[in-house]
C-alpha cells in the first residue's frame, strides 16, 4: 500500500473514532455510571477516591484522536472535525447540557489544536501529550462551570481524561516508530 493511501485510510479510522467518542461521551454522562446525581451527571470512580462524569474517558480519547486526525489528514480536516464535533456534542445529551457540551468541546479542541500544531514538528508523542493536557483542562473547567455552575468534579474530570491520554501513549509511541520506519510524515 502506498504512503498516501495509508495516510487516508488511517486518517479516516481516526476521524471515525473521534466522531464516535463525542455523542457516546454525552450519552454516558446522562445514562452510565456507578451513581447518577439527580439533575446532574452519572459518575464513575477514576481513582484516588475521585469520581467524575462518566464521559470523561471518551473525551480524553477524543483529544488524542483529533491530534491523529490532524497528523494523517492535515489541519483543514482537523478544523472541520472540530466544527462537526461541536455539533455532535449536542447530541445524546440533555438539552440543558447541550450548550455546555458544545462550547467546552469547541474551545478545548481549538486549544488542543493550537498547542499540537507547532509542537508536532518536535515529535508526535510530546505534541499529543502536551496538547491533550491543555485540552482536557480547558474542557473540564468549561464543561463543569457551564453545565453545573460548579467545579466540584474538576479533579475527577482531569484525572479521568488523563487516564485515557496516558493509556493512549503506547499507541502514540507505536505510531511514531512505525511512521519513522515507513517514512510517513505528518500531513
- Residue 112 cell numbers, joined: 488542543
- Residue 21 cell numbers, joined: 467518542
Q: Any residues with CB less than 8 A from the CB of 67 and at least 6 apart, and which? A: 112, 116, 120, 124, 127, 128, 131, 132
pLDDT one digit per residue (tens) for the chain, 187 residues: 788 899 999 999 999 999 999 999 988 988 999 999 887 789 999 999 999 989 999 999 999 999 999 999 999 999 999 999 999 988 878 787 889 989 999 999 999 999 999 999 899 999 999 999 999 999 999 998 998 898 988 999 999 999 999 999 999 999 999 999 988 888 8
- Residue 98 cell numbers, joined: 447541550
pTM: 0.93
Q: Would you state the pLDDT for residue 41?
A: 81
CB 168, CB 64: distance < 8 Å: yes
Q: Would you state the pLDDT for residue 58?
A: 94
Q: Would you state the pLDDT for residue 147?
A: 86
Q: Would you state the pLDDT for residue 56?
A: 92
Say how far apart CA 15 and CA 149 lie, in whole Å. Answer: 32
Place of cell 496516558: 166
Say how far apart CA 28 and CA 135 lie, in whole Å. Answer: 20
Q: Which residues pair with 51 in a beta bridge?
A: 45
Amino acid at each position: 500500500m502506498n504512503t498516501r493511501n495509508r495516510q487516508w485510510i488511517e486518517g479516516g479510522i481516526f476521524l471515525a473514532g473521534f466522531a464516535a467518542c463525542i455523542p457516546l461521551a454525552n450519552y454516558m454522562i446522562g445514562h452510565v455510571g456507578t451513581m447518577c446525581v439527580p439533575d446532574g451527571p452519572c459518575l464513575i470512580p477514576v481513582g484516588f477516591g475521585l469520581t467524575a462524569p462518566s464521559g470523561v474517558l471518551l473525551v480524553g480519547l477524543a483529544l488524542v484522536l483529533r491530534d491523529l486526525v490532524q497528523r494523517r489528514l492535515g489541519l483543514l480536516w482537523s478544523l472541520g472535525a472540530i466544527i462537526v464535533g461541536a455539533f455532535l456534542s449536542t447530541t445524546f445529551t440533555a438539552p440543558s447540557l447541550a450548550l455546555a457540551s458544545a462550547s467546552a468541546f469547541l474551545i478545548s479542541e481549538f486549544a488542543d489544536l493550537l498547542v499540537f500544531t507547532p509542537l508536532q514538528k518536535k515529535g508526535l508523542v510530546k505534541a499529543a501529550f502536551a496538547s491533550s493536557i491543555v485540552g482536557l483542562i480547558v474542557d473540564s473547567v468549561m464543561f463543569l462551570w457551564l453545565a453545573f455552575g460548579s467545579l466540584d468534579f474538576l479533579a475527577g474530570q482531569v484525572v479521568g481524561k488523563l487516564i485515557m491520554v496516558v493509556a493512549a501513549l503506547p499507541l502514540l509511541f507505536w505510531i511514531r516508530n512505525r511512521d519513522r520506519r515507513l517514512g510517513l510524515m505528518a500531513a
